[in-house]
Chain A
Amino acid sequence: MEPPQGGQPPSALPPAGMTPPGRGHSSAMRRRLVKIGGIVLSLVLTLLGLLVVTFVIGRVMPIDPVLKVVGERATQAQYEAAYQALGLDRPLWEQFLRYVGDVLRGDFGRSISTGHPVADDLRRVFPATIELATLGTLIGVCVGVPLGVIAAAKRGSWIDQVARVVALVGYSMPIFWLGLMGLLIFYGILGWVGGPGRQGIIYDGMVPNVTGMILLDSALARDWGAFRDAFSHIILPACLLGYFSLAYISRMTRSFMLEQLSAEYITTARVKGLSETRVIWGHALRNIAVPLITVIALSFGSLLEGSVLTEIIFSWPGIGQYITNAMLAGDMNAVLGGTVLIGACFVGLNLLSDLLYRFLDPRAG
């Protein structure tokens, strides 16, 4: 028996492009084009808005970027020379236009806190973050979804209580403390995992840099020693991030599931004699797929921003630390470049989850 395709659409379902049914082929084409245009336009506007806000915040921030360049010993003449070289003597709108113009040509400028071109810096730090965030989210999904489902199915049971405590601890525990304790126990005392950093000293630079993600690069190079080493370094911070994302994912899964399990089609399914396993995993879970994907995408997106504290504890050279350092130095090129990149990722993730909705829920065509 096919699972009922109907049921109530979950209330958390975002209004994913509910257009009226089409009337003809050409009008459908046009509609699709308009839709794509709309998506592109909203993408551009989002990024532009992001740029404007970041730019303004950066300029009103009480941090003087010139000082980072010239140092505290600088004479007034040196200070002014650097001030002009950074273009800070120009009106704000002109600085902004100039910046946008450069970005459109693919030039994010040079970072004043690292001395490198921002594009190079981002190419280096972002893969480190993607690698960590992906693994963290994977752990979060693989543990969090089943946990949430079981907690909802056995509401009030001990496993539900456990899930609740896990989520609560994940929400309230300072990541700094958890990270240090994890390092102390699993690295310092037991020696099961690698220490801070992405790689052991021996393997550094042994694998050709293709994607910047060391796990992937060493797998591509079939260097399993390097792979094991990289894995032993990433697993602890990934578990830590995974824990936080599983706390969120399991909580959301549970509440989505509870809503589904009280729906009429579930009762119908049960009445028809379907096994409880089938009802829960086959029907109810399938129907929460859409809101669940939103939750997972959001959680992944927030990990992509970089978890600054995790990066600091584990000496993980990711984008969170990069942007934070840049922010504290008033290094606007780096901050803007990083913001645009993360903004683009969020927009991309939104698009991707949009596409997935369509795939999973035919009504969201």
Chain B
Amino acid sequence: MTRTISLRALLLATAVAAAPAAMAETPADMLVVAAQVDDIISLDPAQSFEFSGNDVGWNLYDRLVDFDPLDLEAGLQPSLAESWEVSEDGTTVTLTMREGVTFHSGNPVRAEDAAWSLQRVVKLDLSPAFIFTQFGFTPDNVEERIRAEGNQVILELDQPYALSFVLNCLASNSGGIVDKETVLANGGEDDLGNAWLSTNSAGSGPYTLTAWRPNEQVQLQAYEDYWGGAPEMKRVVVRHVQESSAQRLLLERGDVDVARNLSPNDVQGLAGNDALTVTSEPRGRILYMGLSQEDPLLQQPQVVEAIKHLVDYQGMADSFLEGQWIVHQNIIPAGYLGSTDENPWSLDVEKARELLAEAGVTSGTLRTVVRDIREYVDVAQTLQASFAEAGLTLEIQQMTGAQVLDAYRARQVPIFIGEWGPDYADPNTNVSTFAVNPDNSPEARHSQLAWRNSWAVPDDLAEKVAAAVVENDTETRSQMYLDIQSQYREIAPIVPMFQRVEQAGMQANVQNWSAGGSVASVSYRQVVKGE
């Protein structure tokens, strides 16, 4: 008898203990996000250049011009700058500041703050500096060339540029406007506040930084006096959760509202759960294959052309890349000015064999060096299989990300498989690295992808790229990029294959989520939670 009772007691205890297992819920005015955020090394807009760092900075700072997170396709909108104009000769851009905006400190946002913020990006000369130095600003001349006059910021460029190009650069994360007085008050005299701003915030954006604990968590607090209206979500907590399955469990249990790094398996696992939804958003990153022109086999145009037909684009996008990557065979990501969905290549072994025969190639060995990420290795193995059908042997070498990058920078990777993410929302960001190579000599050590693949970009293509940067008619400019990409598909030994899609799992009541599409970073201010 005692035995039965204790068994029943046990069962009862189990049931009671299991009862609170009914969904936990995050507070109504708080957004909790699970994501991989261990790549943040600095929150200073003049330094931050990592995805997660930009995701934070995007919400702490306002830029002079900005995207509407709910309508990214509408393009750039006035933000801290209310209006802008370009001089007749195209070399001077004047932006007029919005009145009555205050920083988190309560200081007014002045043209002087804006000019100082842009100057410090150039002067500090850290990773994002090139976004502004490409307009001819140098640490020596920037104080004259970027200056405040009254409530206007004046940019004096070294030559005429397309206004859309200039504005798109101002809308990058490094264009975030910082509170000069607050930074200076916090010991920013020596390093322009770089050390302090790396771990603190001094902006006018919709959120302030409450805490950043590396590899653990980022906490943001809503700025009630935000000029665009106080955000609905009063607190945002981004928790670093490395594992996709752990993110999924947290989401299913209701302990987080959004999970941003779910594997295709876990996304499938969420299907049929009515309490959760999955959104898909194209992002800017391109997965491409670089064919080094140092390799004698890859120097032959027919071999390059054959390889373009030896990739099972659709097969991969429908299997292990499903939901994470879509086929995209152009260097400008969808969502950008001048992007195209023309994807002419598909797996065609017969055609590849013909092309190889034309070049007199019946067999050969090629080597690829890939980062030890599952997706890349799977892509490499799929290539290996289709290459083999055409008589080519592909050797796969796996390394850590840092090692691959090292070898790539030293031009020692015959076939590179990897990603490129745009740095600012203008097509030039990708074109200037995929299709520009001012000096193909080994000593030049350029950072352009064309150089890393030892590809000397032909002069006529280089001229087209240079012309597109200064074309002020947006329609014409867009057409020019279509033309550049069409030539690129014909001749380049660099093969764009896929564009990134971000799938985020979230509670059904989370609305207006925006990870920033292909042009921006994540934005929390428009997020609301329904019933």
Contacts of B326 in A (CB 8 A): none
Does B255 contact A200, Cβ atoms closer than 8 Å? Answer: yes
A192-B21, A200-B255, A328-B400 as given contacts; A313 in contact with B246, CB under 8 Å: yes
CB distance from B57 to the nearest CB of A (A): 13
How far is it, in angstroms, between the C-alpha of A116 and the C-alpha of B213 when the chains are bound?
9
B126 at the A interface (CB under 8 A):
yes
A62 at the B interface (CB under 8 A):
yes
Does B214 contact A62, Cβ atoms closer than 8 Å? Answer: no
Q: Which of A72, A125, A188, A325 gathers most chain B CB within 10 Å?
A: A72
| A65-98 CB contacts (< 8 Å) to partner B | 67-76, 78, 81
| A182-224 CB contacts (< 8 Å) to partner B | 183-184, 187-192, 195-197, 200-202, 204-205
A345 at the B interface (CB under 8 A):
no
B327 at the A interface (CB under 8 A):
no
Contacts of A204 in B (CB 8 A): 217, 219, 237
**Closest chain B residue to A189 by CB distance?**
B21
**Closest chain B residue to A331 by CB distance?**
B41
Partner of A116, one of B30, B199, B400: B199
Contacts of A189 in B (CB 8 A): 21
Partner of B242, one of A125, A184, A312: A312
Q: How many residues of B contact A (CB 8 A)?
A: 55
B241 at the A interface (CB under 8 A):
yes
B411 at the A interface (CB under 8 A):
no
Does A72 contact B250, Cβ atoms closer than 8 Å? Answer: no
Contacts of B130 in A (CB 8 A): 73, 75
Partner of A180, one of B24, B245, B402, B403: B245
Contacts of B50 in A (CB 8 A): 71
Does A195 contact B125, Cβ atoms closer than 8 Å? Answer: no
CB distance from B90 to the nearest CB of A (A): 26
CB distance from A129 to the nearest CB of B (A): 13
How far is it, in angstroms, between the C-alpha of A124 and the C-alpha of B212 when the chains are bound?
12
B454 at the A interface (CB under 8 A):
no
A63 at the B interface (CB under 8 A):
yes
How far is it, in angstroms, between the C-alpha of A70 and the C-alpha of B402 when the chains are bound?
13
**Closest chain A residue to B198 by CB distance?**
A115
Does A322 contact B215, Cβ atoms closer than 8 Å? Answer: yes
Contacts of B373 in A (CB 8 A): none
Partner of A62, one of B17, B26, B249, B403: B403
CB distance from B302 to the nearest CB of A (A): 31
Does B215 contact A191, Cβ atoms closer than 8 Å? Answer: no
B146 at the A interface (CB under 8 A):
no
| B476-527 CB contacts (< 8 Å) to partner A | none
A315 at the B interface (CB under 8 A):
yes
Interface readout for B24-44 with A: 1 if CB under 8 Å, 0 if not?
101100101000001011110
Does A187 contact B253, Cβ atoms closer than 8 Å? Answer: yes
Partner of A195, one of B20, B43, B199, B249: B249
A114 at the B interface (CB under 8 A):
yes
Contacts of B405 in A (CB 8 A): 64, 67, 72
A62-B403, A190-B17 as given contacts; A184 in contact with B249, CB under 8 Å: yes
A291 at the B interface (CB under 8 A):
no
Does B214 contact A121, Cβ atoms closer than 8 Å? Answer: yes
Does A64 contact B253, Cβ atoms closer than 8 Å? Answer: no
A338 at the B interface (CB under 8 A):
no
| A337-360 CB contacts (< 8 Å) to partner B | none
How far is it, in angstroms, between the C-alpha of A328 and the C-alpha of B402 when the chains are bound?
8
Does B125 contact A321, Cβ atoms closer than 8 Å? Answer: no
> Chain A interface residue count: which class?
35 or more
CB distance from A114 to the nearest CB of B (A): 4
A330 at the B interface (CB under 8 A):
yes
Does B21 contact A190, Cβ atoms closer than 8 Å? Answer: yes
B243 at the A interface (CB under 8 A):
yes
Contacts of A192 in B (CB 8 A): 17-18, 21
**Closest chain B residue to A322 by CB distance?**
B215
Contacts of A70 in B (CB 8 A): 126-127
Does B18 contact A190, Cβ atoms closer than 8 Å? Answer: yes
B179 at the A interface (CB under 8 A):
no
How far is it, in angstroms, between the C-alpha of A187 and the C-alpha of B18 when the chains are bound?
10
B62 at the A interface (CB under 8 A):
no
Partner of B18, one of A115, A191, A321: A191
B252 at the A interface (CB under 8 A):
yes
Interface readout for B7-30 with A: 1 if CB under 8 Å, 0 if not?
000000000011011101011001
A72-B409, A322-B215 as given contacts; A315 in contact with B125, CB under 8 Å: no
Does B447 contact A75, Cβ atoms closer than 8 Å? Answer: yes
A245 at the B interface (CB under 8 A):
no
Does B249 contact A183, Cβ atoms closer than 8 Å? Answer: yes
Does A114 contact B41, Cβ atoms closer than 8 Å? Answer: yes
A317 at the B interface (CB under 8 A):
yes
Partner of B255, one of A63, A111, A201, A329: A201
Contacts of B246 in A (CB 8 A): 180, 183, 195-196, 313-315
A196-B246, A202-B27 as given contacts; A115 in contact with B42, CB under 8 Å: yes
How far is it, in angstroms, between the C-alpha of A120 and the C-alpha of B126 when the chains are bound?
24
B367 at the A interface (CB under 8 A):
no
Does A188 contact B252, Cβ atoms closer than 8 Å? Answer: yes
B445 at the A interface (CB under 8 A):
yes
Does A76 contact B127, Cβ atoms closer than 8 Å? Answer: no
CB distance from B314 to the nearest CB of A (A): 30
Partner of B249, one of A67, A121, A196, A321: A196
A113 at the B interface (CB under 8 A):
yes
Does A71 contact B215, Cβ atoms closer than 8 Å? Answer: no
Interface readout for B419-441 with A: 1 if CB under 8 Å, 0 if not?
00001000000000000000000
**Closest chain A residue to B48 by CB distance?**
A115
B70 at the A interface (CB under 8 A):
no
Add 8 more A-B contacts to A195-B250, A205-B219 (CB < 8 A): A63-B406, A64-B402, A67-B402, A67-B405, A73-B423, A114-B215, A190-B18, A315-B240
Instruction: In the A-B complex, list the 4 residue pairs whose CB atoms are closest, starting with the nearest.
Output: A191-B21, A114-B214, A317-B216, A71-B127
Some 19 contacts from A to B, beta carbons below 8 A apart, are A67-B402, A68-B41, A68-B402, A72-B405, A74-B127, A76-B446, A78-B126, A115-B43, A180-B243, A188-B252, A190-B18, A197-B241, A201-B255, A204-B237, A205-B219, A315-B240, A325-B38, A328-B401, A329-B402
